[in-house]
Amino acid sequence: MTDIRQLQPTNVWQWFADICSIPHPTFHEHQLADFIINKVNTDGQKFGLTIEKDSVGNLLIQKPASCGMEQHAPVAIQAHYDMVAQKGTNSVHNFETDPIETMIKDGWVWANDTTLGADNGIGLAMALAVAFSDDIAHPPLRLIITSEEEVGMGGVQGLSSDWLQVPYLLNLDSEDSGELFIGCAGGRDITFSKTYQSQPLDLTKQPDLTKQTLDLTKQPDLTKQTLLTLKVSGLQGGHSGIDIHKGVANANLLLGRVLSVAYQTAPFGLVSLHGGTLRNVITREALALLVGNKQQLQTIVDQECEIIKNELQFSEENLSIELTETDIEIDVQSHQQTELTVLSTQDSKHVIDLLNAIPNGVIRMSDSFVGVVETSLSLGVLRLDQGELSVKSLMRSLGESQKDALAHKIQALADLADVSVAFSADYPGWLPDPNSYLLQLGQRIMQDYFGHAPKIQVIHAGLECGFLKAKAPNTDMISFGPNIRSAHSPKERVEIDSVAQNFAVLLEFLQALPKMA
């Protein structure tokens, strides 16, 4: 079988196929929104559906209770309809115009060298399958479909609390089947920036890299300078929250490490840096354009490459670190001719030192939840162009006080390094409620369905439940979903059997909700 529309349950997979056929990366969800609105206004009439769209692109679909469940407590099913846009090095996919190409392999649905969008398209498909049905028992129903979740959670931030006036909410944005999620981390964006003086690069006459450089003992041999590209690639990448504790290598950090070691022996001038595209993705590829002595640097880079490959031989078996000569007429970012500028060796060292000093990875594990990360940082985006440096990280923490404490440390680092730092896009965590009725109900449902008690989880990622709970503190919430692996990377995939399992669990939840008091 190659057509995902033939998978079971067909109503879920047909919706997911439709979702994949319509481009919907973050900030470009309008085509998918229009499709859903049109379906509700045409096919949805016979199911009693109504729909409205707010000013930030969120959708609210309402459906009356099925026969016999009119007196049961209303429930909201919540999912987001944007997706992360990441593709492999050789992919020519355009996320704004091209459909996602799906394939079935070994019991999983994959995309063709791009993100699949199962995060959160498969949850959305399950919700829509319930709405567009006449044979599923459910109480009065609200589908809350949010926009811009993957970058800044703009949709849920703009959501009206009036939409959340229900006693229960089922979030379908989790990625481990048979588990119930009752809490999540909050987050905060961090952006380091600085403008360095740079000079036009003209290799027909050697750049004066000694300009503004105080350490004259570390000057390169300017008669043997070459424009070079140092590239780190082949990493597996992943989700900057869920995968932060798994030993997944970050290309930005490896690039900084190799640059630092190389500089100690053969100083050079940095022309540009380019790594990553999103804060919430562990960077798979990064490169530096530099002016230096090829012969000296090649030996050092090769040696450091072997050391790093040995360290990461089990976690990053496809790691590649290459130093190559570069055509000055080609911009490594846009593949177009461009004017290049180069930093002095002193400023180049300053950039490299900053890159190596920024914390990354797990900062602290939780005392309250065994095996759960409490606080972390991930350096997602690195840019240096025309002397303008920008380094973007994402901070996550279960608690607000821990998040604030880490922000103070980051500010201190920025002050010592004489760079600017800005904090933005703060969003709250979702604190667990051990007395949750949905938790007790979910434990009973999953015990009966799977034959064992579900694992109760607190996820180190930003579920929208943090904002939802802040807007509706009295609404009982829980999150669950099928097995999704390598979300936010071109290896993203969703397990077919687990989709059927979690759809069945969703239907059990809907039938088991109590009558209103």
The better pLDDT of the pair 334, 511 is held by: 511
Angle of helix 496-512 relative to helix 437-450, nearest 10 degrees? Answer: 130
Q: Is the dihedral of CA 447, 449, 455, 458 positive or negative?
A: negative
CB 169 within 8 A of CB 477: yes
The tokens of 287 are what? 């490169």
- The CATH class that applies to domain 4-185+430-512 reads alpha beta
pLDDT tens digits along 391-417: 999 999 988 899 999 999 999 999 999
Q: What is the pLDDT of residue 371?
A: 86
Spatial separation of the C-alpha atoms in residues 24 and 35, rounded to whole Å: 11
CB 273 within 8 A of CB 332: no
- The CATH class that applies to domain 187-202+221-330+337-427 reads alpha beta
Answer yes or no: pTM beyond 0.95: no
Catalytic-residue membership of 149 = yes
pLDDT tens digits along 12-49: 999 999 999 999 999 999 999 999 999 999 999 999 99
Spatial separation of the C-alpha atoms in residues 514 and 517, rounded to whole Å: 9
Helix (H, G, I), strand (E, B) or coil at 17: helix
Collect all residues with Cβ–Cβ distance below 8 Å to 117 and sequence separation of at least 6: 19, 20, 24, 83, 84, 100, 111, 492
DSSP symbols for 468-500: HHHH-TTSEEEE----EESTTSTT-EEEHHHHH
Candidate list 82, 243, 316, 476, residue with the active-site label: 82
pLDDT value at 479 more than 70: yes
Domain residue spans of the chain: 4-185+430-512, 187-202+221-330+337-427
Q: What is the pLDDT of residue 434?
A: 82
Catalytic-residue membership of 82 = yes
Collect all residues with Cβ–Cβ distance below 8 Å to 13 and sequence separation of at least 6: 4, 5, 6, 7, 125, 499
pLDDT value at 214 more than 70: no
Candidate list 18, 29, 119, 149, residue with the active-site label: 149
Q: What is the pLDDT of residue 203?
A: 60
